[in-house]
Structures are given as structure tokens and as C-alpha cells.
Amino acid sequence: MKYTFINKNNTPRLTLFFAGWGMDIHPFISLRNITNDCCICYDYTDMHLNSEIFDSYTHIDIYAWSLGVWHAALYLRNSTLPVRKRIAINGTMFPIDNEKGISADIFDATLKGLNKNSLIKFNLRMCGNKEKVSVYNSLHPQRSIEDIKKELQVIGDRIYRTPVFKYPWDKVIIGSDDHIFPYECQLRAWENDCNNIIVKPIYHYTDFFKLMLEI
């Protein structure tokens, strides 16, 4: 797992953001407006991340998005970090699931057919419309098709071989216009596992700094 501090002012409080598949820090640059320290985690090809880099913090807020929801839970489930808040955004604990996540057929087809043109189509579905995908394209990750295809293969293999587990998310944000993790699937995934579910009129990718201010 890679990580980058986009804010590091040696404050005692950290916002730790787990991004989705195929990402780096660029699509989340607005999080630099957060006043406390902020670290973005991404690229789940390798799950290793030395938690000692967070030892100086007394208060850590977890935000996780998309496939980062499941990976954050996997990384943190046995952690002793001083986590105070856990918020999941447009993702579930059943990331490849026909009823509670991304259908297996769609996941496998995305992996098999991944190329420059299919990624353009994926980004349009992720952002929802041409205006928003234009904003995303100005901030798009600086990673190659080969690199993100390898990551997606590893992610799929990891999910398929990992038994279902739970993690105590405090709040779940569901986008009613999400075309990656369908709205209905997210509702089914969380209805018995979280008591604080907020539905927002957002697409899969959104302005995360603005969203944090709203919730």
C-alpha cells in the first residue's frame, strides 16, 4: 500500500483517507484544505503499511471510499491505532457481490477488458456526467493502464480468498446516483451492519472535502 501526506503540520490529529482502485493523491487534492494532518492511502497491490508512521497521532479519523472501504477495514481490523471516527463512502464490506456490492460479472469484465477506451467509459460512469468527468480528468491519477490492471487483479484475488468479516463503521455515506456500487446494493449491504446511514445525491466520485463538511 502506498501513502502520501498531503498535509503534514505535526498536529496531534490525522485524517486518514483510503482511496479506491486505480488512484493516487491527485483526485483528492481538495483534502489539502483540511486543517489537521491528512494522509491518502492508495494502490492495494501490496497491503503492507507500517503503522509506526502514525504513532505521533492521538486522534485518527478514518474516511474510506469505494474499494478502499473494504481495504481500510482489512488493514485496521487488528490495529491498535487511536481511531476515533470511521466513515465509509460509496463502498461496502461485500465488494464483489451480486447483491451487496459490484457484481462478479461486472468486476471480471472490467478486469478482462481494461484498456484506455474502457477506462474512459468507467470514469464517466464513476463521475456521472461529462461536466464532472472533465473535472476528474484534470486531476486524474498518474498511473499506467498496466499498473492499475495489475492492482485490480490482485484486489480481486484478495477479495475472493478472504472470508467475510465485519468492521465497526460509525457512519456510512451512500450515493443515490452511484453507478459503480449501485445504490440498492449498498443499502442491502449496510441495513443490518450500521445504524447511521446517510443517503446523499452524489455520484460514485465526488468532492470529498465538501462532503466531509456536510457530514
What's this model's pTM, rounded to 2 decimal places? 0.97
Q: Where are the domains of the chain?
A: 2-214
Per-residue pLDDT 10s for the chain (215 aa) are 999 999 999 899 999 999 999 999 999 999 999 999 999 999 999 999 999 999 999 999 999 999 999 999 999 999 999 999 999 999 999 999 999 999 999 999 999 999 999 999 999 999 999 999 999 999 999 999 999 999 999 999 999 999 999 999 999 999 999 999 999 999 999 999 999 999 999 999 999 999 999 99
Report yes or no: 90 and 126 within 8 Å, Cβ to Cβ.
Answer: no
Gap between the Cα atoms of 215 and 213, Å rounded: 6
Q: Which superfamily does 2-214 belong to?
A: Alpha/Beta hydrolase fold, catalytic domain (3.40.50.1820)
Instruction: With both helix axes pointing from N to C terminus, report the angle between 145-161 and 67-76 in degrees, rounded to the nearest 10.
Output: 60
C-alpha cell at 15: 485524517
Q: Are strands 13-18 and 59-65 parallel, antiparallel or unpaired?
A: parallel
C-alpha cell, 149:
490492471
Are the C-beta atoms of 154 and 161 separated by less than 8 Å? no
